[in-house]
Amino acid sequence: MINAVFSYCATFEVDISNAEIPDGNFIVLMNGSWNSWGWGYQLDESDDANIYSGTFCGFENGEYQYIHSITGDFDSWSGWGLIGNPPLASDCDFNPNDSYQNYGFTINGSDVVNQLNSWNCCGVNECSDWDGCNSGALQTDQSYLYGRFEVRMKSADGDGLVSSFFTYNTNWDSGLGNLNWNEIDIEMTGNRDSTVQFTTHHPGTPNSWSYGEIIDVDFNPHESFHDYAFEWTPDYIAWFVDGDEVYSQGISIVDDMNFSQKIMMNLWPAVWESWVGTWDENDTPKHAYYDHVKYYSYNPGLGDYGTNNNFSLLWEDDFNHFNQIIWEDNSSGSFNGNLCSFNPQNTNYYNGYLILSLTDINDDINCNEVNGDFNYDNTLDVIDLVTVVNSILSSTSIELCQFLAIDHDSNDSVDVLDIIHFLNEIIGS
């Protein structure tokens, strides 16, 4: 009775005209903090096309935050297919001093009618002029329980960016929710030039929990390639940099890390500014480079590698091309906290590297051509070399795919060292 007397109603309204309205069946939701960001309130379309509204009751006095969401056939009804936020630090960004772009309202003894927002706008006029970004991702086809996981990589620099090598349980039981969560991370954030972060993410109800450390290293992970690895066993998880163990978690922490997981890599800009810094959406393109990945099975007492020789090499990929036996495309969709969407065109292979590129959404890239094929004739020859030299001397703008093809040393610069590599490759062929 008390709750019935002192609960109030909130009215929501959103115009989705400038959203990328999906094909097939879909609904519009208001997802919010009132139910820990679970499945939100469904809005109904009004007489005005593309304007959805609804009034919902049961709110106690207090502060609430929310976002607009479209979900449907296109995202398997996840509840988070398309997200509409207010522009960061705008008048209707409920807390402009945090890294979240949430609308919000306060219940203080009366009902609340929230203003009409257009998609990604504050009201209908103050809108973001940024269309978005694409990035690359990759994951294994198979999942692995325990083992040693190795990568040689060079991360992307720049505030707001995360370059990763990690494992993640994708085989969720729909009835368990966050009790499914298993994840082991190696991450480099572009705002830090002498650290690497190691983290485990654990199952929990209602929320999962995390444990990890940011470890100092004596190099800049964005400037050169280095070897990173972790060993995952039932008793411990240990992380390695250039062959040396630098961090570990014991059985009291990792005893619930027992779901098989896929190996994943991605590059993405995060909303959490206190962690990664403030991302400049105009700072594109950016690239994360991967030289090879190795997986060793956990084979205690019978292995020949790793701690106590407990691991055996199962496979290695040097990324000369896409290996469909090992990998599957993971370049679609996004996840909460990621400001980009993944796109297959942003995952490429050049000069013996897997390259994940972050680009403005309007940059149409379609790479994976012949290494160094500057004029796109599917042949590497002296004409390409002459064209590259002329381009460098005349400071001609180089297209993204051309840049990836001729930046042989992956130092984000096309210079005389690339020309030497280029010439050797032509002579060698």
Residue 236, amino acid: Y
Clarify whether 187 is annotated catalytic.
yes
Q: Tell me how far apart the alpha carbons of residues 70 and 14 are, in angstroms, rounded to a whole number.
A: 11
Catalytic residue among 13, 150, 187, 369: 187
Burial grade of 5 (CB within 10 A; 0-12, 13-18, 19 or more): exposed
Catalytic residue among 13, 150, 183, 231: 183
- Which helix (H) or strand (E) segment holds residue 288: the answer is strand 286-298
| CB < 8 Å & 24+ apart, contacts of 87-96 | 87/120, 87/121, 87/122, 87/126, 87/127, 87/128, 90/122, 90/126, 91/122, 91/126, 92/117, 92/122, 92/123, 92/126, 93/122, 94/63, 94/65, 95/65
Contact 386/392 with Cβ under 8 angstroms? no
Q: Tell me how far apart the alpha carbons of residues 346 and 365 are, in angstroms, rounded to a whole number.
A: 7
Clarify whether 20 is annotated catalytic.
no
Q: Tell me how far apart the alpha carbons of residues 239 and 180 are, in angstroms, rounded to a whole number.
A: 23
Around Cβ 189, how many Cβ atoms within 10 Å?
A: 27
DSSP annotation of 33: G
SS3 for 406? helix
For the annotated catalytic residues, the residue numbers are 183, 187
